Each structure stands twice: as C-alpha cells, then as structure tokens.
Amino acid sequence: MSIAGSGGRVQPARPGDPSRIGPYRIIGRLGSGGMGTVHAGLAADGLRVAVKVIHPAQAEDPEFRARFRREVQLSARVQGPCLVPLLAADPEAVAPWLATAYAPGPTLNQHLAEHGPLGGGTLYAFATGTAQALASIHEAGVAHRDVKPQNVILTPAGPRVLDFGIARAADGTSVTRTGVMTGTPGWISPEYYRTSTAGPQGDMFAWGALVAYAATGRLPFGTGAPDAVAFRVMAGDPDLDGVPEELREILRRALAKDPSDRMTAVSAAEECSLLLASQATQVLSGGGGLEPTRVGELLTAEWNIPTLDDPTWHAPAPPSRRRAMTTVLVAAAVFGGIAGGVLAFPTSGNSSGEDTTTAGRTTVGRTTAYPATGANGTAQRSEAAEPGGATESPVDPRRARVPADPLAGVPNPAFTRAGDESQPTSDEWSTSTVASTSEEKGVEKAIREQMTSMLATKDMDFMEPKVTFNRRAQTVMVTGGPISQIPEDHQEVFRRAGEMAACTALAHRLKGNPTTWPYGRFSVSWKLFDGDTEVSILGFGEATDGCYAEIAGQWQGDESGMATAEIPSSDRDEIRVADATDKAVIAAWNARIAEGHGLEPFATNDAIALGFDPVEKAAYVWARDPDGALMGRAQRANFQDAVSKTVCRSLTAEYNSNKTWNYTRWSVAVYEGNSRTPELIGSGECIR
C-alpha cells in the first residue's frame, strides 16, 4: 500500500474513520490496501499529510508489528531530494500509524495509463530524480527493495520515491518472515531470484527497469506468469526499444545480470543529470558533473507534469504565535513527550512540494517492545546475605580501574566553578561557540565518538550531538535535535550518554591540564526547531561529580539503565548474545525445576528478555511474572542466581572472543502482575 494515495484526490471519510490521528486532523481518505488505510490529514499549521494506519488484524500480529517498527526506523534514516519525508509515527499505538508529507499526483502507472510514456526533458528529469532518491537511500545504509511504478509519485515539482514497507538495512539486518519472497515480479533482480540477496545493486536493477518502463510504457521483461517473468529476468535481454539512445546505455549497465557490473545510484544520477542538462541546452564546462542545486533547478525547469487541483483540501490559517507554541512544546517535551508518545522526524528541504518544518526521528532494532514507561523511582538493592547474591568474579588485569575521581590530588585547577549547582541558562547555551582550539576540538571529538558509540547500538545515532563551548560559563554544551517529538526513553538515553561522555572527556582533560583547562561543567540539552534560541535542559553537572566513581564489586543497576536496555538493540553481536542468553536462562530455570526446587515454569518463552545499556556497559535481564509465581524470596533468589551464572558465562565468553565487547556487568529485574515499573532484585560484575 502506497502512503501517497491516488491521483491527488481526497475521498470522503467513511463511518468509523477517526477524526484525529496523533497531532493531525483527518479530513478524508487517500486510499487503502492490504496493510491498512491512508488518511488525508492536516497539521495545526495547515501542512497536508498522508497518515497510514495499520489494520487491526495486522497490528495484533507481533511479527507484523515488528516489521512496521522497522519500516519506521528505516524510513527515518533517509532524507534527500525526490523523497517523501517521514514526519511522525507511533508504532506502539493500538492502531500503529505513520505520517508523511502529502505527495500530490498520480503514480507512474496511473500517469502512463492516462498520458502515455514520458519523453524529452521530463523523462531525463524522471531518471535523474529517481536515481538521486536511491542515492540518498543507499547513502543512509538502506536498500529500498521495492522500487516499482506504484511507488513513484509524479508530483508537480518532480518525481517522488516512497514506501519503505519492505526496506532493509544494507548491512542485512531486517525483520521479515522467513521463506517469504518480498518484492514484485518484474521488478526483482536476478540475484534475488537465485539467492534472495537484496541490496542497493538490486535497487539499481529495478531502477533500470523503472526508467525503461517510463520511457516506453512497456515492462522491459514482459508480462505473464511470475515464473516466466523470472526466467526472462535471469536469462533474457531487456526490451529497450524506444528508449532514447543516450539513455539506453545507462539502462543496460543498470540492468546487468551480474550485480558487480551495475552502476551505482550516484553514478546514475550524475550521468542522467548530464543528459538533463544537455536536453535543457545548458553548456557544461570541463566535462564534470553538475552541482546538486543546479541539478534541482534543471529538473524543475524540464519537468512537465500537469498540476492537480484538489478543492477538498481546506487548510486552516497558519498560527501567528509560533514562539508561544514552541514554549508550550518545550514544556511538554520535558514532561513526557507530545501526543501520547508520537514520534516526529526531520526533513532536509522540501522534498514533497509542501511546507515541511517538523523534525525528529526514532528507531527500533530487536523485536521486543519499547519499555512501558521511563525511569521513575529508586532501584532496589538485594540484601548481601540473601542466597543467590552477586557472584564472586575474577579480576581481569586488562581492565584496570581508574581512580574513583580522576581529579583527586589535582591542586587548584583553572576551573573555578567547582560545587556550583546552578543550572546553565539558555543565554549561556545560545552564546556558546564551536570548538576553536586543538584542546576543545579534542574534547568535542571524544564526546561525539563516545556518544555515537553508545547511541548506535540502539539505532539512535541519528541523534547526532552538537558540542559547543562557553568559556565564561566554564561549561561544555551537548545539544541534540532539532527533533520536536521523540519517546521519553530515547531522550533519557541521549541525556545519559551525553552526561557520561562529557563528564569522561572533561575529567581526562582536567586531569592532564589542571591549570590551563577552564571547562569543568557540562550541560545536555534538546532543541525543538531549527533557529530556536531556547532549549530544554535534560541534565547538567561537573566533571568532579564522580562520573568515574566505581566501587569494586558494588556496581548497581538502576531504572534508567533498565529503560535503556529495554530499547531494542540494532547491534548484531548484542542481538546474537541476547538471543542465546535468553534461551540459556530459560534452560537453567527449567533445570532447577527438574531438580525439585519447587519452582514454577514461565508461562511463555518470551517471559524472559535481555537487553543492553551501552552507557553503563551492562546487560539487563528481566522476567514478566503476571501470576506472581516468582515473587517469593526463594523463587527470586533462585532466579537471580540462575541469571547471574548464565549471563556471566555468556558475557565472559563473548568478552574473551570479541575484542570490541565491553559488556561485563549484569542486573536482574522482575515485572510483577500488570506493573509497568520493574523491580530490580540484583546486580553484579562478571569481570573486575
């Protein structure tokens, strides 16, 4: 199902259709399909949006919901020309939905049926724009996997590639049903038929077929039974009769049987842009490619698609008090997010022909659910005398601990605001500047690299931090955004990662240059919109606050770490270790039941889950106990003991075989009954 709708016309709403979805007022329908319904919506500022709502039957399927989360994640990565930007989504709603900017116009199929093939400058603009869109997709590390005429909209401003319903990361991570072929016959590459390999090269094969179809109105490998089409794709030559000669050679290279012989999307966009410029009788100097802005101008100038008039869209007048609304949104974001956890996504430029100003993103990795709530409350420590307490662990000489406070013994550092608990102000943030000295640049690099490493395991590296310095305030500012609406748990991970990275970097710098380094405070902030002069301060502190404080053998997990661990991971090593350890914990528990300890089995295998907190480098294991079978002291002690021994074996084995593995801590939690707040019952370290 395409999110763009059909031909730019809004159909009347039907009985039972919602009046609002997230922040959008629903005014009608744009279409429907096997996945769900696409509604026409209006944002508060009059922005036209297309809102895809998943059918209830699909939403109840955990595997389908996992694929939908992945669709949101992958779509959020991609921004660029000739793409339809994802604006907002709520994959955890009872009826999951996502919203994009509205792309008015027919699909390529619809246009060809009514007007015939594209020609002249419009054809070259189509080839250039769709290749640029794929180049942006591939640059984000994503393969589209469903390039076909139904997924290209011919808007008055140019072609728009859309629908990442079966997209996957180019590194191979995905959530798809085993044994089910994805894609549409006639638009599937030879290697996918042979080995189920789908990547950027497969997208380029489909692009070659797409442009040939746009130029001729014929499918380059014909029609008929799927197996007959598959045979022609794998062994036959494409039908390119009628394609302009200068474009034909480009398409032949895109349609090569061997993926290694195909051109990249970037090369295709460059070569097609030269044809577009030639069509526009532009004189090129030096034989080189065109600047992106120049390509965009040529594409718009040569694009000749009728403008659609849709009188059923009635946008309200734009609000006149944007700053007042921004203030309200800042407060709302601080106290738990906006519109019930709706996620908003950034757009770079206007890739749909509409006014787009909202920003933000989210991602998901594993198929486990988001945590029900953010952290609130105090983690409970297990009693030292209770059976099944923290297991004594070996000391690893490779992991020598730093002192509890790196600044211990440093006399009179240049930093003079030690102990100042005043919160950094917006003025201090707005007057901070980018790194200018080599020392500042070194700290900026250290903070960015450490945060990126932490965030990447949760597919949150889109939250790229900006590091600035205010010498007068002696404060380093770490800023995220502009993203107006993200889940509270994502914001919490950004805060924790920023505080740890900034505290670590500043402590090292103060330790090495006590009399010449002025920065000892840090602030982690979030801004909603580009151009804002105010931010929401998520957290602040100073490098002497003990970001390094570690008491051997006494590390304790907490609910912030638990909330971070519950966010699905995108790291393949973490996913592999988590899956294997989940099974090992269940096996260990069942073995104890067989030994006659009077324990109860878990109701389902998914009652046990494991996740990772990259900030504290800890693995969290939690059990859901709706019937209270684990709540007795003996049951808890047995569960904690089974987890600690099993998890430590897994973490230590991975640590010994994987040089990049840093997780050597563990914590155990239980969700009792229908509680949305975990109770932590034990923590420990496998290697000290």
pLDDT of residue 138: 87
Please tell me the distance from the alpha carbon of residue 542 to that of residue 421, in angstroms, as a whole number: 9
List Cα–Cα distances, 511 to 334, 403, 417, 447, in angstroms: 34, 11, 16, 16
pLDDT of residue 125: 93
Structure tokens belonging to residue 264: 């990249």
Q: What is the mean pLDDT of residues 334-338?
A: 27
* Per-residue DSSP letter, 475: E
List Cα–Cα distances, 24 to 18, 40, 43, 482, 651, in angstroms: 10, 9, 5, 20, 46
Question: pLDDT band at 448, cuts 50/70/90?
Answer: very high
H helices, E strands: number in the chain: 17, 19
Q: What is the mean pLDDT of residues 201-212?
A: 95
pLDDT of residue 354: 38
* Per-residue DSSP letter, 11: B
Which run of H or E residues covers position 682?
Answer: strand 679-685
pLDDT of residue 199: 83
pLDDT of residue 176: 36
Q: What is the mean pLDDT of residues 292-320?
A: 60
Question: pLDDT band at 631, cuts 50/70/90?
Answer: low
pLDDT in tens, 572-620: 899 899 888 888 888 888 888 888 766 667 655 567 889 999 988 999 9
Please tell me the distance from the alpha carbon of residue 66 to that of residue 605, in angstroms, as a whole number: 18
Ramachandran assignment for 296, one of left (phi > 0), alpha (psi -120 to 50 degrees), beta (any other): alpha
Question: pLDDT band at 351, cuts 50/70/90?
Answer: very low
Residue 280 exposed, middle or buried by CB count within 10 Å (0-12, 13-18, 19+)? middle
Answer whether 0.85 is exceeded by the pTM. no
Structure tokens belonging to residue 65: 């919901």
pLDDT in tens, 484-518: 666 777 888 898 899 889 988 888 888 777 777 88
Instruction: List the Cα angle 599/601/607 in 5-degree steps.
Output: 125
pLDDT of residue 522: 93
- Asked if residue 42 has pLDDT above 60, the reply is yes
- Look at residues 653, 614, 621, 652 and name the one whose alpha carbon lies nearest to residue 639: 621
DSSP 500-530: HHHHHHHHHHHHH-TTT----EEEEEE-SST
Q: What percent of the chain has pLDDT over 70?
A: 70
List Cα–Cα distances, 189 to 139, 262, 528, in angstroms: 20, 11, 42
Cα torsion through 122, 129, 38, 71, rounded to 10: 160
Structure tokens belonging to residue 30: 């744009």
pLDDT in tens, 388-425: 333 334 444 334 333 345 555 555 567 888 777 788 88
Instruction: List the Cα angle 502/508/513 in 5-degree steps.
Output: 120
* Per-residue DSSP letter, 420: -
| Angle of the 108-115 helix axis to the 200-216 helix axis, nearest 10 | 20
Look over the chain and give the mean of its residue pLDDT values, rounded to a whole number.
Answer: 75
